[in-house]
């Protein structure tokens, strides 16, 4: 379950009633939960549509195993905090290279999906990639610690939480159906 925003308009980094519990950031939630919780405005729904379409492109090239950390102003009550809608959603993709492929072969399947500028323009996703398959344990720990420290604090140094969703496509159809309801469109119009 996604925690509600605090009075500061952010996801709490921990369960303050049980601060040593495993109920903490990154909160492991379903993609559908993200759609239902944050699909509250036309701008947010367009960003969520971009996320779903980005995931579809990842799945097409074989990236279906791993997880995504999501964060940024999209997970904040930015409309109240700064009187503006979010511009995009921040995503770090921790992924396994499909069996039988090299990283180079994977990228060649759709190099545009690995281009951060194109991904932001086309999907409203500020995306980053970490291959679990290629990283040594030390490098994986280092990159994970980097992103955790980057995303667990706002620029004003306040501590905040973020979310983790599975990269498997198993929940994407349900999430898309819920988003279609939010947008009031049929599936064909979103393709």
Range of the domain at 103: 27-190
130, 93 Cβ separation under 8 angstroms: yes
Q: Residue 174 falls within a domain, yes or no?
A: yes
94 within a domain of the structure (yes/no):
yes
Domain contains 141: yes
Q: 14 lies in a domain?
A: no
The pTM assigned to this predicted structure is 0.92
Number of domains in the chain: 1
Instruction: Give the tens place of pLDDT for each residue, 34-87.
Output: 999 999 999 999 999 999 999 999 999 999 999 999 999 999 999 999 999 999
* Residue at 19 is within a domain: no
The pLDDT tens digits of the residues spanning 85-96 come to 999 999 999 999
What is the rounded distance in angstroms from the CA atom of residue 159 to the CA atom of residue 141?
21
Q: Which residues contact 90 (CB under 8 A, 6 or more apart)?
A: 70, 71, 72, 74, 125, 126, 151
**Which pair of structure tokens corresponds to residue 148?**
């955790």
CA distance 78 to 85: 6
The answer to whether residue 1 is domain-embedded is no
Q: Is residue 108 part of a domain?
A: yes
Residue 8 lies in a domain: no
């Amino acid at each position: 379950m996604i925690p509600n925003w605090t009075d500061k308009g952010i996801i709490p980094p921990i369960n303050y009633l049980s601060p040593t519990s495993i109920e903490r950031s990154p909160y492991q939630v379903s993609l559908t939960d993200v759609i239902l919780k944050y699909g509250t405005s036309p701008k947010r729904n367009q960003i969520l549509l971009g996320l779903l379409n980005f995931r579809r492109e990842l799945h097409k090239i074989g990236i279906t195993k791993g997880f995504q950390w999501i964060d940024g102003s999209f997970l904040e009550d930015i409309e109240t905090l700064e009187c503006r809608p979010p511009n995009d959603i921040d995503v770090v993709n921790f992924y396994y290279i499909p069996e039988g492929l090299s990283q180079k072969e994977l990228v060649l399947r759709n190099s545009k999906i690995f281009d951060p500028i194109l991904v932001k323009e086309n999907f409203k996703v500020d995306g980053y990639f970490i291959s679990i398959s290629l990283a040594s344990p030390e490098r994986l720990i280092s990159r994970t610690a980097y992103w955790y420290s980057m995303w667990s604090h706002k620029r004003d140094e306040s501590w905040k939480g973020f979310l983790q969703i599975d990269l498997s496509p198993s929940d994407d159809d349900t999430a898309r159906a819920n988003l279609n309801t939010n947008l009031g469109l049929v599936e064909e119009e979103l393709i």
